[in-house]
Structure 1
């Protein structure tokens, strides 16, 4: 897993970083704006995000929020030329794993990306093993049609729990199931 979603509105910076990261062996998805990047943010994205903060229209902070809404464990690295304390704090509060200031030594960026990808790989591996255990342990009538559907179901429950701050009664109501069904799903899915 070596995917990097790279977002920067400065074309020269974007192309230079894309080239350097490709030389380092990464599969780079280069985007010049939030609009182009947002569709690559999907649950289970096998990679990390590297984004600038200041961009026309929606900013890097908007992208961090979108990534966090799609998958709270998707690592986002901020690479910015404007690393004021307020910006750094806000980016970290929104869910960035780290903030690096431009110009950043390439070795530091590559090391940070490698750490983020290692963490992401561990998260995705854990999710897959939970889904496999959940599917294997379900009675036949409750078993998902496929591991992919079980993973999707787990993600739906995980997101609903997060939206409701862990309140199981509200989560069950939102999902249209009873609380006992929700408790059983949580147990089966290992959440």
Structure 2
């Protein structure tokens, strides 16, 4: 199954199972192994948080009612510590309040026990594909903002007008610059953002805006810009 998903070659997801019932942990771990993924098991939220860090990839499966912090409390701690990995919550007692609370905190889904193996399987695959997609998007956005940060203030000003469809002559007039200066700044923009022309530049900016919107809920854009300033 793992090889059928066409995951990036440098992406090595694991499935982290958190349940204080050893039998349940073993059962889920066996299922995950049969899918071709590595499963790591933990008996509490505290053990999981102390045994991992926010760089892990793949997905987390956690029982709602854990000894110590429950799965929703664990999810809040994960968010505060910068984890960027989908969480699937399992519970024998699923109601509207619990489901809304869990998913509003960022849980991918809440599955009611007993569940069909195929149902859990499908959600694990969806979670891993989502994690891989978000990871790629974050990496692409970091690379884009790294290039964008090389633009001078004057170049950014010219780029803004280019994207509005203004000609070199109109930009020259509006910014009170010589035609040569506009041409030089335009060339610098194309080179620094590694595109061939203004049309490709517009496509690049549009892609960046779409990805930023997609990742906004995780405050990823702000985090990326902070990284570039460090």
1:41, 1:70 → 2: CA distance?
11
Q: 1:35 aligns with which of 46, 54, 69?
A: 46
| Partner in structure 1 of residue 20 of structure 2 | 9
Q: Among residues 98, 104, 115, which one is paired with 1:104 in the alignment?
A: 115
* 1:75 shift after superposition: 1.1
Task: Give me the whole-angstrom Cα distance separating, in 2, the residues matched to 1:106 and 1:40.
Answer: 27
Q: After superposition, what is the alpha-carbon deviation per residue over 1:111-168, rounded to whole angstroms, capped at 9, x for unaligned?
A: 101111111101111111122233344449xxxxxxxxxxxxxxxxx99x95xxx9xx
Q: What TM-score, normalized by structure 2, do the two folds share?
A: 0.57
Equivalent position of 1:66 in the other structure: 77
| TM-score where L is the length of structure 1 | 0.68
Q: Name 1:175's counterpart in structure 2.
A: none
Correspondence list, 1:1-191, <5 A: 1-40=12-51, 42-71=53-82, 73-139=84-150, 185=225
Unmatched 5+ residue regions in structure 2?
A: 1-11, 152-214
Larger radius of gyration: 2
1:17 and 1:46 map into 2 onto residues whose CA distance is 18
Go from structure 1 to structure 2 and tell me whether the alpha carbon gap of 1:40 and 1:118 turns closer, same or farther (over 3 Å shift).
farther
Distance in structure 2 (CA, Å) of the matches to 1:75 and 1:36: 18
CA contact 2:53–2:83 (8 Å) conserved in 1:
no
CA deviation profile, 1:68-88 (whole Å, cap 9, x unmatched): 223475211101111122222
The Cα shift of 1:41 comes to 5.1
Consecutive unaligned residues in structure 1, runs of 5 or more? 141-157, 172-181
Q: Are 2:85 and 2:131, in contact at CA under 8 Å, matched by a contact in 1? A: yes
Per-residue deviation at 1:40?
A: 4.9
Asked if the contact 1:9–1:32 (Cα under 8 Å) also holds between the matched residues in 2, the reply is yes
Q: Distance in 2 between matches of 1:13 and 1:49?
A: 14
CA RMSD of aligned residues (A): 3.0
1:44-93 deviation per Cα after TM superposition (whole angstroms, max 9, x unaligned): 42111110010111111111112222347521110111112222222112
Whether the 8 Å CA contact 1:78–1:98 is kept in 2: the answer is yes
Aligned partner of residue 100 in structure 1, secondary structure: strand
Equivalent pairs counted in the alignment come to 151
Partners of 1:95 and 1:120 lie apart in 2 by 13
